Amino acid sequence: MIYLDYAATTPPSETVIEAVTQTLRDYPGNPSSFHRPGREAKKRYQQAKRHIATLLGTIPERIFFTGSGSEATALALKGHPFTPGETILTTTVEHHATLHTLEQLKKNGIRVRTLPCDHEGFLPEETLEAALAEERTGMLSLVHANNEIGTLQDLKALGDLAHAHDVKVHADMVQSPLHMQLALDEMPVDYASFSAHKFFGPKGIGILYARDVNELTPLIDGGGQEHGLRSGTENLPYIVGLEKALAEAVEALTPREAAIRRLAKRFLWRLEASTLEYNLNGPPLEKPRLWNILNIGFKGVDPQRLAYKLDRHDIAVSLGSACSGDTIERSHVLEAIKAPRSHGALRFSLSHHESEEDIDDVVEVLQRLLL
Amino acid sequence: MEEKVRIVSEEETLFEGHAHELPFRESAIKQKSLELFDEEDPCILHRSFVFEALGDEVLEALDELGNDVARLDAHEAFAKIDIEAVEATISRC
């Protein structure tokens, strides 16, 4: 199997699996209990949280564990105390976790304005500046690194601009930790969402970074865990798994990115050298982007059929479309950037686990299938 | 990559098109969906995947039989096609 769907999920590393199973075995206590097993679990939890905070460039008091990246986003957007008449600004290329949460907020009377991005998925500063001048804005919510086309927003410029208007910033950073060193406290973000399974950690554990916890209202009430922000007994095995995965992600960042860049360049070079008619959706490689996400459109191709055929050849990729009731709709991100409809798009998301031979094999299979 | 088939009965063409566009029986769709996704009522995206798989089964059955033209009752893969006709045959085209 050649797995090229790392933007969807990454398999946990063996060391992460070992960390999770060891924690399941060695820390059976509830961190809220006063007795020894409870205290041991609590200490391990605190240790993991401190380590994770350091790895993300912040302090433990700003780290809150959730069940997923989507939950972290929901907590930031639904938990933030908007005042009547305030607008949330977002973009046309957000993940559904953001867009669908904002749809819910709209039903509750919150005003949401969706800003257009350019044809590479970037939110132009002047677009944000104009919107900030026109709207009484409470928050800017935007995806840092786009999960479909790889666009890397200029969070420093956009966040600074929002802060200059006294506007809070939520960044969906789910795809980011595997590809860059983050220093959250130095970035112009008030909230940020993360998900462990995007960086070789376990599924079912995420993080909300919140600069000021006192501003948020919890979505789940109960025992008051996570400083009252997310009740429910802490999932210590997965928290430790997240810690391990994040540590490995940070430690191996440079060689991993170098390997991914080699593979991305080779993929596009091999496509260019082939007879395939294709286009790269999103920014070219020389622009700010994640190199592991290559959204490729193939002229005249039905992407569902191609993805099926690739699966038959043991090549796993992702579609640039999704179910919508009884129709298959093209991705809203591809629509937003006006990717050519004549080209059926597939997302190839790479990792350092693949070899150059794997990439060559994929292009050869594509050639055979599309001849 | 395109593989088309034709179904004929009494010199009348009942179907001509890609194998994955064949009218498959709902029971076959449900069975294949359970096999692939453990899901009786697949979403439209998974349903399209099921049609691809059923279409491939038909093409593979034609290859297996080795004839240019096969009777529609000659292979269990053909029984999943929702076409009832006298002396119907299927072939690649």
Q: Do residues A162 and A132 lie in contact, with contact meaning Cβ atoms separated by under 8 Å?
A: yes
E-strand ranges in chain B read: 4-9, 12-18, 69-71, 89-92
The pLDDT assigned to A109 comes to 87
Structure tokens at A140: 């800017």
Each residue's pLDDT expressed in tens, for chain B with a length of 93 residues: 458 999 999 999 999 999 999 999 999 999 999 999 999 888 888 999 999 999 999 999 999 998 788 999 999 999 999 998 888 999 988
Structure tokens at A128: 């944000």
Contacts of B52 in chain A (CB under 8 A): 304-305, 308-309
The pLDDT assigned to A325 comes to 67
Which residues from B are below 8 Å from A when comparing CB atoms? Answer: 1, 20, 43-46, 48-49, 52-53, 56
Q: Is B15 left (phi over 0), alpha (psi -120 to 50) or beta?
A: beta
Which residues of A are annotated as catalytic?
323
Contacts of A309 in chain B (CB under 8 A): 1, 52
Which residues from A are below 8 Å from B when comparing CB atoms? Answer: 304-306, 308-309, 312, 319, 321-328, 369-371
Q: Do residues B5 and B22 lie in contact, with contact meaning Cβ atoms separated by under 8 Å?
A: yes
Q: Which of A306, A328, A369 sits opposite B44 (nearest CB)?
A: A328
Q: What is the pTM of this model?
A: 0.93
Contacts of A310 in chain B (CB under 8 A): none
Q: Do residues A193 and A213 lie in contact, with contact meaning Cβ atoms separated by under 8 Å?
A: no
Contacts of B53 in chain A (CB under 8 A): 308
The pLDDT assigned to A83 comes to 87
Tell me the three state secondary structure of residue B68: coil
The pLDDT assigned to A328 comes to 81
Q: Answer whether B1 sits within 8 Å of A327, measured CB to CB.
A: no
Q: What residue ranges do the domains of chain B occupy? A: 4-92
Residue in B closest to A312 by C-alpha = B53
Using the structure block, give the residue that is written with the tokens 């795809």: A175
Q: Which of A325, A328, A370 sits opposite B1 (nearest CB)?
A: A370
Q: Do residues A191 and A171 lie in contact, with contact meaning Cβ atoms separated by under 8 Å?
A: yes
Angle at Cα B38 formed by Cα B33 and Cα B42, nearest 5°? Answer: 45
Which neighbouring-strand residues pair with A281?
A: A295
Each residue's pLDDT expressed in tens, for chain A with a length of 371 residues: 999 999 999 999 999 999 999 999 999 999 999 999 999 999 999 999 999 999 999 999 999 999 999 999 999 999 999 988 899 999 999 999 999 999 999 998 899 999 999 999 999 999 999 999 999 999 999 999 999 999 999 999 999 999 999 999 999 999 999 999 999 999 999 999 999 999 999 999 999 999 998 889 999 999 999 999 999 999 999 999 999 999 999 999 999 999 999 999 999 999 999 999 999 999 999 999 999 999 999 999 999 999 999 999 999 999 876 666 677 888 999 999 999 999 999 999 999 999 999 999 999 999 999 98
Q: Do residues A328 and B44 lie in contact, with contact meaning Cβ atoms separated by under 8 Å?
A: yes
Cβ-Cβ contacts under 8 Å for B62 (sequence gap 6 or more): B5, B70, B90, B91, B92
The pLDDT assigned to A215 comes to 85
Quick one: what percent of chain B has pLDDT higher than 70? 98
ipTM: 0.84
Closest C-alpha among B45, B46, B54 to residue B3: B54
Tell me the three state secondary structure of residue B32: helix
Residue in A closest to B43 by C-alpha = A323
User: Which of B3, B37, B48 would you mutate first to test chain A, the one with the most A CBs within 10 A?
Assistant: B48
- B5-30 residue pLDDT tens: 999 999 999 999 999 999 999 999 99
d(CA A275, CA A163): 49
Q: Which of B45, B46, B52 sits opposite A305 (nearest CB)?
A: B52
Closest C-alpha among A347, A366, A341 to residue A9: A347
Cα–Cα distance list, A69 to A37, A187, A219, A307, A312 (Å): 29, 19, 14, 26, 31
